[in-house]
Amino acid sequence: MKSEDKKSGVGIQIPVKNIKIHQPKTDEQYKPRDQIYVRKVQGFFQQLRQKMNFIFLIGFAIIPWFQYNGHQAILFDIAEQRFTFWGLTLWPQDLTLLAWLFIIGAFLLFFVTTFLGRVWCGYLCPQTVWTFIFIWFEEKIEGTANQRKKLDSQKLDFNKFWRKALKHFCWLMFSILTALTFVGYFVPVEQAFMDFFTFNASLGLASVVWFFTFCTYGNAGWMREIMCLHMCPYARFQSAMFDKDTLTVTYDYNRGESRGPRSRKQDPKDLGLGDCIDCNLCVHVCPTGIDIRNGLQYECINCGACVDACDGVMDRMNYDRGLIRYTTEHELEGKKVHIIRPKLIGYALVLIIMGSLLVFEIMHREPVSMDIIRDRTELAKENFNGEIENVYTLKILNKSQTDNYYRLSMKGIDNITWNGDQEVFVKAASVYTLPISITVDPYELEGAYMTDITFVIELISDEDEVVVEHESRFFNKR
């Protein structure tokens, strides 16, 4: 394309760049995902992952069965609005403690991600743990990745039928056990197992168990990497916590390129090749099906499977390990790696402060509390003796794990008459409801329409005496 300069009259050549826009075909645009046949690999990181998965799974399975002081040690009883952690019982009034726990957990995840990348996903995420367990069932029943691929391509015969049926049966049974164990954190676990397997479970319990059964079966058996790629929000915002000193699984491009096959006896430098022999084994062992050689991708869960696979190939080729390894951008660029850096220090300080506040709040948490509910029909009334009477309902919450006797009293007005029990017995982790009425000579009120009063709870014990005070109001009749 040419244009003419008005002053000089000389034509000026304007460069034009042709840009081709790729328009995907309709059938490719909506093509379903290809099934990933994850190949088994052995190595240091896979052994570490398997041991961590085993510890996580055993902990998940046995924790609901622990007993403490005659009750289930860990129980989130939503129906009773009571969360039990060994010797600590939390109620809706203690919601701030749960909030602190969630906030600390979030910042701990940020800290670990900044330091070690997405290792939570690769080593401890339940989706990853259960996916590898389901893949283990596939390997034991259907064979290796190549055998599974060959089996799926065959027509349905008896061999294919019984293998597929047994695999899905194992998946379903494991999903049922998973769902029952998970429900056992919210209802008494022994009763849940007994009722379910004896067909005496309530409709609500059975519905929840079957719901989580099919969620586990679908997520770990069928969806797998779809959960990590498209449904997990952590995959999307993890990069905001990464920096150039974050340890991630990375392919050493400068060392590996140009890639290409060769024999062990050939010198790659003579062939103009790097250390990567382009075997694609790193792709075959990846549970999300990505090629780590294309650079850092949000789909990578940092499980280290490609690291072990590549190290094995390097050993066979007599090359140095580490073509794919846990490393940082600064290390690949030949720069100094800063392990201790401002972002990590900031997260660590926040964790220390929040953890200290949580411990402080737990240590100063009152073991008993009281809610005061006034009579809703009338604020005050005059009895046959001419005294003013106010009616209250006291709800005494024993937050401790021991049964206790409490003494009740009121201050703020002299010469009152307490109508109701003043010494009560409250079982551990339970609420005691006590209706009472307070009568006062109107001369004690000095004509005031409303008087501030305080209800007092004292623990009847030789060891220690807990005093809890709760303010309220006493109304005069007008």
pLDDT single digits (tens) 114-141: 998 888 889 989 999 999 999 999 999 9
Task: Judge whether residue 223 has pLDDT over 80.
Answer: yes
Instruction: Give yes or no for a contact between 228 and 132, defined as CB atoms under 8 angstroms apart.
Output: no
Q: Please provide residue 450's backbone torsions phi and psi, each rounded to the nearest 5 degrees.
A: -140, 135
Lowest mean per-residue pLDDT among 20-29, 254-263, 336-345, 355-364: 20-29
d(CA 190, CA 17): 72
Q: Which residue has the higher pLDDT, 154 or 81?
A: 154
Unique residue bearing structure tokens 């952590």: 234
Is the pLDDT assigned to residue 24 strictly greater than 60? no
**pLDDT of amino acid 206:** 94
Residues 167-181 as b or e (16 or more Cβ within 10 Å = b): beebbeebbbebbbb
Local confidence band at 15 (pLDDT 50, 70, 90 cut-offs): low
pTM: 0.79
Q: Tell me what the mean pLDDT of segment 253-281 comes to.
A: 91
Give Cα separations from 70 to 59, 77, 79, 229, 245 (angstroms). Answer: 20, 16, 20, 44, 49
Give the pLDDT of residue 12: 52
Helix segments in 334-401, DSSP class H: 342-363
Q: Could you tell me which residue, 10 or 67, shows the higher pLDDT? A: 67
CB 260 within 8 A of CB 277: yes
Tell me how far apart the terminal alpha carbons of the chain are, to the nearest angstrom. 97
Mean pLDDT on 434-463: 88
Segment 194-201 shows an average pLDDT of: 93
**How do residues 460-477 score in pLDDT, each as one tens digit?**
876 667 788 999 999 988
How confident is the model at residue 239, as a pLDDT?
A: 72
CA atoms within 13 A on the CB side of 102: 5
CB of 185 closer than 8 Å to CB of 76: yes
Of residues 435, 443, 430, the one with CA closest to residue 397: 430
Alpha carbon distance 48, 326 (integer Å): 14
SS3 content of the chain, % helix, strand, coil (to 5): 45, 20, 35
Q: Which DSSP helix (H) or strand (E) runs through 382?
A: strand 381-382
Among 13-17, 355-359, 361-365, the least confident range: 13-17
Res 164: pLDDT: 95
Query: Cα-flanking dihedrals φ and ψ of residue 338, to 5°?
Result: -100, 100
* pLDDT greater than 50 at residue 353: yes
How far is C-alpha 465 from the chain's CA centre?
39
- Give me the percent of the chain exceeding a pLDDT of 70: 92
Q: Is 142 exposed, middle or buried (0-12, 13-18, 19+ CB in 10 A)?
A: buried
What's the token pair of residue 234? Answer: 């952590």
| pLDDT of 375 above 90 | no
Average pLDDT over residues 430-437: 92
Q: Tokens 């896979």 — which residue?
A: 46
pLDDT of residue 21: 40
CATH 2.60.40.10 spans which residues of the chain?
A: 368-475
Q: Is the pLDDT of residue 183 over 50?
A: yes
Phi, psi of 88 (to 5 degrees): -115, 130
Q: Quickly count helices (H) and strands (E) in the chain.
A: 17, 18
> Is it the case that residue 178 has pLDDT exceeding 80?
yes
Mean residue pLDDT across the chain: 87
What φ, ψ does residue 426 adopt, rounded to 5°?
Answer: -120, 125
Given a cut of 70, whether residue 209 has pLDDT beyond it is yes
Predicted confidence band of residue 32 (pLDDT cuts 50, 70, 90): low
Dihedral of the alpha carbons of 120, 124, 130, 132, in degrees to the nearest 10: 80
Q: Is a pLDDT exceeding 90 seen at residue 6?
A: no
Q: Phi/psi at 246 (nearest 5 deg)?
A: -80, 135
Q: What is the mean pLDDT of residues 331-355?
A: 90
**What's the angle, vertex CA 22, arms to CA 21 and CA 27, rounded to 5?**
150
How far is the C-alpha of 128 from the C-alpha of 286, rounded, in Å? Answer: 12
| Residue 205 three-state SS | helix
The C-alpha atoms of residue 121 and residue 341 are separated, in whole angstroms, by 23
Q: Is the pLDDT of residue 422 over 60?
A: yes
Q: Is the pLDDT of residue 35 over 70?
A: yes
Top-ranked range on mean pLDDT: pick from 16-20, 100-104, 216-220: 216-220
368-475 CATH? 2.60.40.10
